[in-house]
Structure 1
């Protein structure tokens, strides 16, 4: 079979192709290259970032009515208290056994450590390993915080407590100053009071402790087993009077099951909620307070 001869392109076609190529070249030549971000625009972006950072800082440490607030790290608690606990205040977490006082206090410390604050946990009962294991169930790796020098666990025996009171702080005060600790939890003040023989000694020791806490310039939570206002002992009345805030925990049994409730009983200089709220203790998270108050909680 004979091969078909190739068609010759006419001069007109060649000219029109050339024109199209020239036009496209002109268009691309006139196109402006993308500008690189000038120093001015980068500066504007940096200013925006710094403004956002300042906003974030305001969120983490609020100032309401001239009072600096320390965030609690407890979902919905800060909404009820105008932004959290007052900075350098002494606060009592009060309730019966198993109601969530230690979880609340530990969650407060974890919130501080997450933002780089140094925290101290003081106990008079020991059981460090058990405490660390329970904290781990909520996703709080206290050993890691300890390695980073953000967390200190202190176990105080009766003899150490008496020395501390005699010296007006002693070793514990030196530790707070040296490490620049900003958050303290004492778990529990009940155990502390029981280290003393009679009621007068207990009351004097409690007042001495509150006096030391006020000069250490830390935000402190003290857990206490009982109900303020119902106890007739002078120690509990004195502690209730000396504390800047009292948070009440309830754990009543109703219709065959127990439920947890929280109430801000007292908070100086704060327009706090006067209502009672239901809360949960969630594994891997910790305490979460309900956003709406409970109208008729079965407190017993």
Structure 2
């Protein structure tokens, strides 16, 4: 009630523990705080906060148009309500080295558990689209080094994402990832791998935990957690899945209301009021309120 009970540091420590475990950790994307509450209630290990999903929810393409302030506020609202580790998309860090350091500190202050920083140029593109460009390996090493230097809580997880697979090939992406680990990255995010063999090659070569991005309609097949774990992947994210589920249902529902003149046929598939109140812990708020305003005016003039 009234937010997470685990501290931000405790959730960051838990994130690191997950990366060190043999079992693969699943981080579905949350598009808002109640979505994060559902993710926790369904027993997942963590919550991912996608820049692509956030920009789409603002009616914008995923090309770096959202600001650090907007993204940090969005992340803060989600981190506030869940005891799970929260992992956020930092795009290219909103500027040069000092901007990257500030980005880390803004996310720390927002209660987030970790972030990933990518090696694309600005303006960036969705990782599963063609036409991406990456900065030099040296430039990205500067970004990662600045992030590590800006970090005040050593438990905050800094992940380096490389988009080099598409334009430079698998080996070049691996070489970049090794340099990013040497610069202090805790976790490597190889974007747009083509098959399980590429994930396995990457995991064996890099010497650091890696994550898989299981986004729909992308370059990678939608592998199972068991397949990914067998390939050496430590963590999997589903960045835009809940947004796509929700938007698909909303679009179909609106068409039904338009054609039938009522939402009656849709009610069976809706979240009930009781389930909504259970999700947001409504009764705990009532109990808290009653424990404070429990006095009586009787006998007083």
TM over 0.5: no
Computing the radius of gyration from Cα coordinates, the structure with the larger value is: 1
Higher relative contact order (CA closer than 8 Å, sequence separation 6+): 1
Compute the TM-score of the two structures, normalised by the length of structure 1.
0.36
Greater fraction of residues in strand: 1
TM-score by length of 2: 0.36
